[in-house]
Homo-oligomer: A and B are copies of this chain.
């Protein structure tokens, strides 16, 4: 009897009733996969989504946001990488809608049931001839094992595809949730509203109420994608989509369901896994740092303190250099906007105390450098100003980060 289990080599097509594909349509120069399609075989499939809170939003985000207000039905998502279709005006909006219509036509489903996403360079119109033949090809390549290709097709500066599937039981029915994600740069949380900071697509065969699905997605995003930062830059295209198709035939999950907890737990697990994968694969990143701010005056203050440290360029370069320069961490906490008495602060690397009441605790540098050489470690700052905590995951900043982003275009 399993409670919540990770499926070995699981992907988008692990839940019942999902097909997927990933093809090359020529948007990337290196002949890599650059278009993906996710398709539910079930009528009455529903969707929920979270989008970027950036004021500048890409055409596909605008189109999907509008569609999902009136209509929660969804059986397919078409996505391309290599071009963000952002800052492309009316032409961009027409192109996003045209991607939807052609996908619907080829799948022989209603245009209302198709969503669209894009990622890549901003400000360039989509080459619609390539897009159109890519869509035809994507439909023809749909398969029950296609999830892995979809995961590859959405990569930009990612070095590895990010995918996971988990299963659990509701009474005797097995329910599966799977997800893929991409994102390595332009990754930063917005701390005020649930939204995504990259592209992620989640599929589930759960039988679930749509309101509950949206609510559950908001919670999971708040526990995962909103807690990662690579470079502090929030994208114009960030989106998380989930499609649920009821094929598991479980007792309906809704607000009153006794099974909502296990569903939420499973969804959190999928999203947290993908979020951490993004931070680990952050552009040029060599390590994953969990930054915990505890005993803050409020959760908001814990958040801004954790975020200031997580985004500090001086902290991130020190981590890259395995330099236990804790002054930079205290300086970042100091300008974060969180209220605290600097003479009370404690600081820990993993479980090792470094600072006591605002002063050096006398630990040997050798011991600290050893911790910082690990691929993953945590930093805990105890503000002693209240009872609220918050944590984030961040990456370091290396030469490679600069190389990737100075040379991205050329």
Contacts and interface: CB of A to CB of B under 8 A. Distances in A.
B313 A55 contact: no
Interface stretch (A40-48, A230-238, A248-256): A230-238
A89 B357 CA distance: 8
Contacts of A402: 317, 320, 397-399, 401-402
Contacts of A236: 327, 330-331, 334
A212 B401 CA distance: 47
Given A321-B406, A342-B56, A402-B401, A327 B86 contact: yes
Contacts of A332: 233
A2 interface: no
Q: Which of A186, A340, A357 has the most CB of B within 10 A?
A: A186
B335 A55 contact: yes
Given A55-B340, A87-B359, A124-B360, A409 B232 contact: no
A313 B87 contact: no
Contact of A407 (B84, B231, B321, B330): B321
Contacts of A410: 321, 323
Contacts of A339: 55
A338 B54 CA distance: 10
Name A's interface SS: loop
Copies of this chain present = 2
B89 A343 contact: yes
Contacts of A335: 53-55, 188, 190, 233-234
Given A57-B342, A342-B87, A408-B325, A123 B334 contact: no
A104 B225 CA distance: 56
28 contacts: A55-B333, A55-B334, A55-B338, A57-B334, A57-B342, A84-B327, A86-B327, A87-B355, A89-B358, A121-B325, A122-B325, A122-B326, A122-B331, A123-B326, A186-B314, A188-B335, A190-B335, A231-B314, A232-B311, A233-B331, A236-B331, A236-B334, A313-B405, A314-B405, A318-B409, A323-B409, A399-B403, A402-B402
Interface of A: 53-57, 84, 86-89, 121-124, 185-186, 188, 190, 231-236, 311-314, 317-318, 320-321, 323-328, 330-335, 338-340, 342-343, 345, 355, 357-360, 397-399, 401-403, 405-410
